[in-house]
């Protein structure tokens, strides 16, 4: 099966025949692909399983400026290089959603929507996905005024007024990008201050077509078939107001999707896999890397660091079996 994301056009990949692998990595984001590179360089057979976009959530980022060694690049460029690097090292990458992982001692079963694979060690690198607003009709209006990705959908709103919901780094990056093509961008933040990097905040505050609304949350979505605005609730004044706009971009954080790993890993109260810097899950032969584990900073640098740590630990575990 072939990779399908937009960033995969020049890529080749290895055919998967459901043989047994030393290591199966769940997720092809920076954590998973780094783990694959390290495990391949240690001579292990490696399969990376990905359910959506090869390269992970960074493919949604218009610009990355904080990854050491690169002055500036798009998330897609970064993902492309990383995928090609893993392939060049001999990792196999396939499109499949992992539904369950079970532990049978020295053999792990990885159940996917494309069949069940077996391996000696598993690295969970499933990252996280956008957090929904949780208001009525959100799903119905997604794609019709409600979006979670400026890189993907920003072009549809050229010359129009959009709102970015959120005030962290991802929201501010989306606002910067949208301000370059939309007539107006309103940033709606639930706190009385923005929580993103100072540089981004300063840049947006100097951008003439960007406005900010603080202490406010989206209470309702307006519009019949297409969004025409949002009802905002001010948590300080307890007043409701209408913000008319052509689209909203929701960037209120991420949430993990770790349910498939409940048989082999424990989750914390927020759904992240419990693990420390050693990337150990507590189940022998099952490791975790990147945004899906409990940690304070979720960035490419920390994800790739985890990928290396988890891979070395997984390789040691595989060696210990022989």
Ligand X SMILES: Cc1cc2nc3c(=O)[nH]c(=O)nc-3n(C[C@H](O)[C@H](O)[C@H](O)COP(=O)(O)OP(=O)(O)OC[C@H]3O[C@@H](n4cnc5c(N)ncnc54)[C@H](O)[C@@H]3O)c2cc1C
Say whether 17 is catalytic.
no
The one catalytic residue in 119, 149, 245, 279 is 149
Q: How far, in Å, CA of 125 to CA of 261, rounded?
A: 11
Contacts of 157 (CB under 8 A, 6+ apart): 178, 181, 182, 246, 247
> Cα–Cα distances in Å, from 152 out to 28, 53, 194, 291?
19, 12, 24, 22
Q: Which of 8, 13, 38, 56 binds ligand X (CB under 6 A)?
A: 56
Is residue 153 among the annotated active site residues? yes
Which residue from 16, 46, 47, 64 is in contact with ligand X, where contact means CB under 6 A? 64
The reply to whether 152 belongs to the active site is yes
Residues within window 168-207 making contact with ligand X, judged by CB under 6 A: 170, 173
Place of tokens 């960007």: 210
Contacts of 286 (CB under 8 A, 6+ apart): 101, 103, 108, 121, 122, 124, 261, 264, 265
Under rule CB under 6 A, residue 285 binds ligand X: no
Binding mask 26-55 for ligand X (x = CB under 6 A): xxxxxxx----------------xxxxx--
Residue 291 contacts ligand X per CB under 6 A: yes
Q: Show the DSSP H helices in 89-147 as ranges.
A: 138-141
Q: Write down the number of H helices and E strands in the chain.
A: 7, 17
* 3-state SS class at 287: strand
**Range 65-104, binding ligand X (CB under 6 A):** 66-67, 97-98
CB of 238 to ligand X, least distance (A): 32
Does 298 contact ligand X by CB under 6 A?
A: yes
Q: Which of 7, 8, 45, 57 binds ligand X (CB under 6 A)?
A: 57
Taking CB under 6 A as the binding criterion, the range among 175-183, 195-203, 274-282, 297-305 that sits at the site for ligand X is 297-305
CA–CA distance, 91 with 21 (Å, rounded to integer): 11
The minimum distance between CB 101 and ligand X, in angstroms, equals 9
Active-site annotation, residues: 149, 152-153
Please give the residue ranges that form the binding site for ligand X (CB under 6 A): 26-32, 49-53, 56-58, 60-61, 64, 66-67, 97-98, 125-128, 170, 173, 257, 260, 290-291, 298-301, 303
């Amino acid at each position: 099966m072939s990779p399908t994301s937009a960033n995969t056009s020049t890529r080749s990949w290895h055919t998967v025949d459901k043989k047994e692998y030393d290591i199966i990595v769940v997720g092809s984001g920076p954590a998973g692909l780094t783990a694959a590179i390290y495990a391949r360089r240690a001579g292990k057979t490696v399969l990376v399983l990905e359910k959506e976009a090869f390269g992970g959530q960074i493919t949604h980022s218009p610009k990355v400026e904080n990854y050491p060694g690169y002055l500036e690049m798009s998330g897609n460029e970064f993902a492309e290089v990383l995928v090609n690097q893993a392939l060049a090292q001999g990792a196999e990458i396939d499109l499949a959603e992992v539904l369950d992982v079970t532990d049978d001692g020295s053999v792990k079963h990885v159940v996917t929507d494309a069949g069940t694979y077996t391996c000696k060690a598993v690295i969970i690198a499933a990252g996280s996905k956008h957090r929904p607003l949780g208001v009525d009709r959100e799903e119905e209006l997604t794609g019709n005024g409600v979006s979670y990705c400026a890189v993907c959908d920003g072009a549809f709103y050229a010359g129009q007024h959009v709102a970015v919901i959120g005030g962290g780094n991802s929201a501010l990056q989306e606002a910067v990008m949208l301000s370059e093509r939309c007539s107006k961008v309103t940033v709606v933040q639930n706190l009385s201050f923005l929580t993103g990097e100072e540089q981004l905040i300063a840049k947006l505050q100097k951008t003439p077509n960007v406005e900010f609304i603080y202490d406010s949350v989206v209470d309702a979505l307006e519009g019949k078939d297409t969004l025409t605005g949002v009802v905002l609730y001010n948590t300080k004044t307890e007043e409701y107001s209408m913000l008319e706009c052509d689209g909203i971009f929701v960037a209120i954080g991420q949430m993990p999707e770790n349910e498939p790993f409940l048989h082999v890993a424990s989750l914390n109260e927020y759904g992240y896999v419990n693990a420390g810097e050693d990337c150990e899950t507590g189940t022998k032969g099952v490791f975790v890397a990147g945004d899906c584990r409990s940690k304070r900073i979720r960035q490419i640098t920390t994800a790739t660091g985890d990928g290396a740590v988890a891979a070395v630990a997984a390789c040691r575990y595989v060696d210990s079996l022989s």
